[in-house]
Each structure stands twice: as C-alpha cells, then as structure tokens.
Amino acid sequence: MKKTSLFILLLLCSTVNAQEVIDLYPDGVPNAKITGINQSPHNGLVRQVLNPTLEVYRPSGENVSDAAVIVVPGGGYSVLVYNGEGVNTAKE
C-alpha cells in the first residue's frame, strides 16, 4: 500500500465549497512501521505519505446532485502529483 494511498478526491462539479478531510485510518495505518520521516509537500508534489486522507469537494447551489467522481493523483511509489492531478482536477 506504501505511499500511493494518499488523497482520493470526490469531484461533484465545477463549483466547489470548502473541503472536508477524512482520515482513511483514524487509528493509524495497520502494520505500519513507525519512522522519523514526515510527509513532505513540495511544489504540489507529496512524498513520504504516512497518514493517507480523503478530501471531499462538494458542489454548491443548483449543481448539487447524488453523483460523485473519485480522483486519485498519480505519480507512483515515490511521489504523488497532489496539485496537478488531484486538487486542480477536483476543482474543475
């Protein structure tokens, strides 16, 4: 599961309200090895993910519906393209 599980985004429409952040493992990641490394965001890229979360973006006004889209930022095991393939896509 390593570093690829970080931010799964729900995309509902182009108009977005404030986000809600949900811990995927509120009691800690099962079988995780504790390290002295901290998550390090840099230039929209995220490395060393230790606490994966889900960010919910909800539409406002007349765009509200029951539909949802899950957006998972790419990048692989070493880095996640959080802004370019995650947040920006969810806000479109």
As a whole number of angstroms, the distance between CA 59 and CA 4 comes to 27
Q: Where are the alpha helices (DSSP H) in 1-92?
A: 82, 88-91
> What are the structural domain ranges in the chain?
7-26+38-91
Is the pTM higher than 0.85? The answer reads no
- Bigger pLDDT: 62 or 86? 62
* Residue 60 pLDDT > 50: yes
Strand partners for 45? 42, 81
- Which 8-state DSSP code applies to residue 43? T
- pLDDT given for residue 19 in this prediction: 73
Calculate the CA dihedral of residues 21, 76, 87, 28 and round it to 10 degrees.
10
Amino acid at 33: K
